[in-house]
């Protein structure tokens, strides 16, 4: 039977999460499928320079200049998404060790929606701890909360029953680079969020929207 056409609408094909060869190659492969039609917007005028001849052939774009010269906040004012408004409102205005606080917030929203309430509460606990004791090594670097300390705090709050379960609950956050784990000189594992204090405070204020 003939397959029904599938239209994929992609806002900002040159966004931070898609600006790499692997993502663009996958999108080009999708666009090449006969019944799939990709409609996309791009922000950077030189974005096509990143595509190879093969990718351009697979995309087979029909170009339309839809430049509106509007500010992004006005362009997106119709959206009711709290996380979008936070990002556009300058939530990433401070320094950021990962390079894109906005991307982290978007990633957190995506991850948190699929997690249990206990896992979200554990993440909140890490945020609160880091705000209480942001710098611990005397050099301004974030040391984070020790895994054992986090475990006992979570156990006292009935969020986990053993350290193995705790690590399993943290897996999604770590895989999406929302938290990092490093070892101290004595082998102790420390967990921290790669975000400055100002943005951590904004995160805590809006953390209930990430569900």
Query: Does 66 fall in a domain?
Result: no
Nearest to 154, CA basis, from 182, 128, 185: 128
The count of structural domains within the chain is: 2
3-state secondary structure of 182: strand
Q: Does 204 lie in the same domain as 144?
A: yes
Query: Does 53 fall in a domain?
Result: yes
CATH (domain of 120): 1.10.10.10
Query: Does 1 fall in a domain?
Result: no
Q: Quote the mean pLDDT of the chain.
A: 78
Which range marks the domain in which residue 132 is found? Answer: 73-208
Would you state the torsion angle of the CA atoms of residues 51, 55, 58, 62, taken in this order, to the nearest 10 degrees? 10
Residue with tokens 């499928």: 33
Q: Does 145 lie in the same domain as 116?
A: yes
Strands 6-10 and 189-192: unpaired
94-153 per-position pLDDT tens digit: 444 434 566 666 667 667 666 778 888 999 999 999 998 865 555 555 678 999 999 999
Evaluate if residue 28 carries a pLDDT over 60: yes
pLDDT band at 49 (very low <50, low <70, confident <90, very high): confident
From CA 182, how far away is CA 184, in angstroms rounded?
7
CB-based contact 22:50 (threshold 8 Å): no
């Amino acid at each position: 039977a003939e397959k029904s056409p599938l239209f994929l609408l992609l806002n900002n094909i040159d966004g931070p999460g898609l600006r790499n060869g692997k993502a663009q190659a996958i999108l080009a492969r999708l666009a090449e499928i006969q019944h799939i039609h990709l409609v996309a917007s791009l922000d950077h005028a030189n974005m096509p320079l990143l595509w190879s001849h093969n990718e351009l052939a697979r995309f087979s774009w029909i170009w339309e200049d839809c430049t509106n010269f509007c500010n992004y906040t006005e362009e997106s004012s119709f959206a009711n998404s709290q996380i979008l408004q936070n990002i556009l409102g300058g939530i990433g205005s401070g320094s950021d060790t990962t390079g894109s606080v906005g991307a982290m917030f978007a990633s957190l929203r995506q991850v948190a929606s699929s997690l249990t309430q206990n896992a979200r509460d554990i993440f909140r606990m890490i945020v609160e701890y880091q705000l209480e004791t942001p710098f611990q090594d005397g050099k301004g670097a974030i040391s984070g909360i020790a895994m054992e300390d986090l475990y006992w705090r979570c156990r006292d709050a009935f969020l986990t029953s053993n350290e193995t379960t705790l690590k399993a609950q943290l897996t999604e956050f770590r895989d999406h680079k929302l938290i990092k784990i490093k070892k101290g000189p004595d082998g102790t594992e420390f967990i921290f969020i790669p975000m400055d204090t100002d943005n951590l405070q904004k995160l805590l204020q809006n953390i209930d929207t990430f569900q």
